[in-house]
Structure 1
């Protein structure tokens, strides 16, 4: 577990402390971990193997993925998972927002949810969480699906473009700006990062409704504290990499830099798609993931095993 935390991370945990319950849902649940709880949602056929674990890309929360999960139900069981401190996943202290603490919390949740095997879906900076979990080998990961995930240099360049004046990355100031400006940041992000063909208003409305209901979005600590911990060690885990080509935030990112995570990965570029392949083109996303799982089953066994 990450030892200690910065005062700024502690401030973010305090600013985003959860005072309200998450929206009532028959399909969502909380998994208790050492430093708080992780909110999940299960979907798909019982007994499916492997299970696809999708890490929510903040400010997305489990409520954003209804269409995605319905599309995926035809090919796999899925678990949506909000990161510690984001959405309605709670943290007890600032150190739970650190990168390695996030990795360990997701691992702990997976260990409680079953024996796997898991295929991890990591979008954007969450892809580094997925890769680190695969590298550590504490839980059985048989495949990775990454979306909008460059190498470390590309990720840091992305942060520079998104925060050119380093306001959000200034400890203390960034935490206050992130908290007080969450509505403005959320509106800007969905408008800027989605493709012109995507109606981003439903995504924005869902995020704003949930933020108003008490959801967390400690973006400043993620931007400030995760960078030094990111790695790009080469993995031999079977990997599918997706790139939405109309993502303005990654307009200058080298797509091939994803191969530094998994040199043998297959890269698929999706036209008329922005930062969120899973949300902007759920049917296409499910098809690509389903085909990947079929290829994966050729070496690891059946994709779906249903009880008789």
Structure 2
């Protein structure tokens, strides 16, 4: 067996609890996939091997500038059935779940760190031979988009980030919102896995406005979970909690911040906090939307993204 020096160095640097937690998530997700068989490769979806695990993705394969979408768990690719066709009118659309979410299985070394997540994004672009793309990510996934933009500035034309605050604001949100047991290595990974359906379906009550029917969101998420989808909440919470204040560097690419003003889970979060890192970023409010403005108002969001993509291409 070949010696993987990169993984060996990663294991040495990481605390033992972090190593064991990542391995537990990998084992649990693989075991569930074997038992339930969901998320297999098909005519509509591909399975791609990346540095962070096996990623399930959709590629419209249409002609045009590329837009990459990543669902904010517990949402999965299927939640984007309404948005993808709208963007596909003028763009090539790639949509994939990050490792540990949807039907993307994390490797035993994947820690949900900024570097790990950014590497997966760039691995997907490499696999699809996409030289340049606009990333339209949301919430914590926006941090991976930002890190990818700093690591490979020539590959990222621009960013559209929904519900992504600063690292410090995300830490404060975690302290307010995430139960302490989920923040404990190994214990949190195991507990989060066994409570994943309850946590996922309950999340929509806090994330969506009271006037929005959560049933369609819950139905898609529940169907995916029952088929073996991942929802490694503890893993991503712990991975990003370890990132220090100031971990995000400034990016040169144009960036649009979209903020759902009716997101009760972020009612104490400053929607402008990421401007500490991105002072030139524009902020556009979707006051009628909650945590998922890209899904709650797919029509308006698609028009915004298409306008920004055209501007990114022109620049």
TM value normalised by structure 1: 0.90
Residue in structure 2 matched with residue 111 of structure 1 by the alignment: 126
Residue in structure 2 matched with residue 275 of structure 1 by the alignment: 291
Retained in 2: the 8 A contact 1:84–1:97? no
Residue in structure 2 matched with residue 155 of structure 1 by the alignment: 170
Residue in structure 1 matched with residue 50 of structure 2 by the alignment: 33
Equivalent residue in structure 2 for 1:187, among 192, 201, 208: 201
Retained in 2: the 8 A contact 1:236–1:264? no
The alignment yields a C-alpha RMSD, in angstroms, of 1.8
Alignment partner of 1:253: what SS? coil
Shift of the 254–138 alpha-carbon distance from structure 1 to 2, 3 Å rule, reads closer
Shift of the 180–203 alpha-carbon distance from structure 1 to 2, 3 Å rule, reads same
Shift of the 33–248 alpha-carbon distance from structure 1 to 2, 3 Å rule, reads same
Residue in structure 2 matched with residue 199 of structure 1 by the alignment: 213
Residue in structure 2 matched with residue 305 of structure 1 by the alignment: none
Alignment partner of 1:78: what SS? strand
- Number of residue-to-residue matches in the alignment: 295
Residue in structure 2 matched with residue 304 of structure 1 by the alignment: none
What is the Cα deviation at residue 246 of structure 1?
Answer: 0.3
What is the Cα deviation at residue 191 of structure 1?
Answer: 1.5
Shift of the 293–87 alpha-carbon distance from structure 1 to 2, 3 Å rule, reads same
Retained in 1: the 8 A contact 2:153–2:253? no
Structure 2 unmatched ranges of 5 or more: 1-5, 12-17
Please give the alpha-carbon distance, in whole angstroms, between the structure 2 residues aligned to 1:155 and 1:86: 19
What is the Cα deviation at residue 262 of structure 1?
Answer: 2.1
Task: Work out whether 1:127 is the aligned partner of 2:136.
Answer: no
Task: Work out whether 1:11 is the aligned partner of 2:24.
Answer: yes
What is the Cα deviation at residue 280 of structure 1?
Answer: 0.7
Moved over 6 A (4+): none
Structure 1 unmatched ranges of 5 or more: 300-308
Shift of the 29–224 alpha-carbon distance from structure 1 to 2, 3 Å rule, reads same
**Aligned ranges 1:139-150 → 2 under 5 Å:** 140-150=155-165
Equivalent residue in structure 2 for 1:238, among 242, 248, 254: 254
TM value normalised by structure 2: 0.88
